Amino acid sequence: MSAMPSWHAPHWQRLQPALAEGRLPHALLLGGPAGLGKRVFAERLVARLLCGAPQADDACGQCRGCRLRTAGTHPDLYRIGLALNREGKLRSEIVIDQIRGVCERLALASQFGGWRIALIDPADVLNAAAGNALLKTLEEPPAAALLILLADHPERLPATVRSRCRRLSFRLPAPAAAADWLQAQGLAGDDAQALDAADGNPGLAARYLREGALPRREAVRSELAQLLAQRADALLLAQAWSQDEPRQRLQFAAQWLAREARAASVGARGSLASGRDTATLVRWFDQANLARELLRGPVRSDLALLDFLSLRAVAA
């Protein structure tokens, strides 16, 4: 196993007594922003539980259980995620049949005589019927069965589901810890600039460095400033953005606008939209986020972008 991020260690250590004594809770909810390694943590825990010869706190990686898990064929591990519908398109939610199926399998005896584990990811897209089906198992859990729910937005889960899970909340690490971890990844680029772009989220910063997203972020700031100064054409800009990571560009736009709004609220002079009042910047920030959500659906990206870039919120 690779070195554990420092912000994982407290959660991992708190689980060790329960692991040693075989008394884990019947359900764990790993929640928090994407980029903090919740899924890495979950996979580490699954590996440890299904290992036939664990070494210290981790799986051995060599036993039959470890080999089967690595191959994706362990009979006591069930993974639930977004599946294809009848038309062959990826669903946007986890449906009741998926949850019923995994709950029925958890009720069966373990083929290896140990834990049966269901990994539900992303759990925050369970539809109402699926949530109700899951609740029945959470209320009457089978012995030696563990449900692991992963959610970037745990608040979207029903309160009845959340209350029946032990919560492990992943939060942004201290700046020094984030910087140390990012430096250890050995990625090319400016670590400090990446962490600034990611608002301190080390996993997101690493993704920006791998994808070369930082120049795009700076271009967004420059283009918004030109637009406000009436030195750029909204239609041409919308067409250009639509061809190159439009949702990420809107995310960066919202970030710049949020920072400008904070500066304006304390009377500071921003670098992007000097002279704009806080309320105007907040309206434009909201419009950026609205456009970003619209791009999740079947809309023309250039039209959604044009609605944001047309400056209607600024002129209101």
- Give the residue-averaged pLDDT of 255-273: 83
CA distance 173 to 200: 8
What percentage of residues in the chain have a pLDDT greater than 90? 82
pLDDT of residue 110: 93
Mean pLDDT of the chain: 93
Q: What is the pLDDT of residues 99-152, one digit of tens each?
A: 999 999 999 999 999 999 999 999 999 999 999 999 999 999 999 999 999 999
Please state whether the peptide bond connecting residue 122 to the residue before it is cis, i.e. omega within 30 degrees of 0: yes
d(CA 289, CA 254): 7
Q: Check residues 268 and 290 and name the one with the higher pLDDT.
A: 290
The CA–CA distances, whole Å, from 282 to 231, 264, 268, 277, 288 equal 22, 10, 16, 9, 10
Identity at 148, one-letter amino acid code: I
Q: Kindly report, residue by residue over 215-228, the tens digit of the pLDDT.
A: 999 999 999 999 98
Contact 36, 172 (CB under 8 A): yes
Span 66-89, average pLDDT: 94
Residue 88 scores a pLDDT above 70: yes
Q: Where are the beta strands (DSSP E) in the chain?
A: 27-31, 77-80, 116-120, 145-151, 166-169
Give the pLDDT mean for 208-221.
96
- Summarised one tens digit per residue, pLDDT across range 160-169 is 999 999 999 9
- Residue 238 banded pLDDT, cuts 50, 70, 90: very high
